[in-house]
Structure 1
Amino acid sequence: MSAFSYSVGNRIRALRKQRGWTQEQLAEKANLHYSYLSSMERGERNVSIDSLEKVINALKINPMQIFNFMDTEVLEGTADKESTLQAINALLQVRNTDEVKMVYRILIDMLETFNGNSNNTNNST
């Protein structure tokens, strides 16, 4: 198994789990056998372009997203701040304006909550 195959497989697994899908569900949507998908996720297969395209279409993602290994690093906690910000930006680039504005509002609320909790902690010491 090559490092590249392993990274692609990890990325497929992460995208599948983000959607709350089982391997069987993704395999069905991609018209692949679930054992084949399982071996893809483990990086044990030399994946054909056709199979990869089926997975990309089933996940309804931009083909470049399958090679965005940074997301996996962010989720596993191994990415630095700059890489994490780039991953967040990449996620937002493919969303429409209303969705980006909604994420922005949610982020503002979260940061205000963090600031409030931080102030409460500082005041109690």
Structure 2
Amino acid sequence: MSKLSKHVGVKVRSSRKNRGLTQEQLGELVELPQSYIGGIERGEKNISLETLRVEPSDLSSDYGLASSHYERSKLLDSTHLLIEHCSDKELALIKKLAEVVISEVRSKSN
């Protein structure tokens, strides 16, 4: 995976989510299978600018931060997958634990 592919993937995922589209819906719009859209978003597949339907300048902002955005996106996605089937009681406990951990981390960094 190239840094550019990761960057483009982060931008595609962000744009898709901002528009409230699933990978499948985006795939239908650009006539590509959902699995290919997923590969693009992970930086594993290439895509033409014509298919992207964006201006090249729209992709250049924050290029240096693409890797960290990609890693953050992966962490958020994996966390969501981890907790999505938890019961309401489990989710409430996880939320409380996360609040305590975040508060503790932030207080130590100040």
Among 40, 52, 57, the alignment partner of 1:55 is: 52
How many residue pairs get aligned? The number is 65
TM-score, length-scaled by structure 2: 0.51
CA distance in 2, matches of 1:68, 1:26: 21
| Alpha-carbon shift at residue 4 of structure 1 (Å) | 1.0
3-state SS in 2 of match to 1:32: coil
Distance 1:21 1:48, change over 3 A: closer
| Alpha-carbon shift at residue 26 of structure 1 (Å) | 0.5
| Alpha-carbon shift at residue 48 of structure 1 (Å) | 4.2
Larger Rg: 1
CA distance in 2, matches of 1:10, 1:44: 12
- 1:1-125 equivalences under 5 Å are 1-45=1-45, 47-49=46-48, 52-56=49-53, 61-65=54-58, 67-70=59-62
TM-score, length-scaled by structure 1: 0.46
Contact 2:40–2:47 (CA under 8 A) maintained in structure 1: no
The runs of 5 or more residues in structure 1 that have no matched partner are 77-125
Contact 1:8–1:69 (CA under 8 A) maintained in structure 2: no
CA distance in 2, matches of 1:69, 1:7: 10
Q: Give the root-mean-square deviation of aligned CA atoms.
A: 2.1
| Alpha-carbon shift at residue 44 of structure 1 (Å) | 0.7
CA distance in 2, matches of 1:48, 1:13: 13
The runs of 5 or more residues in structure 2 that have no matched partner are 70-110
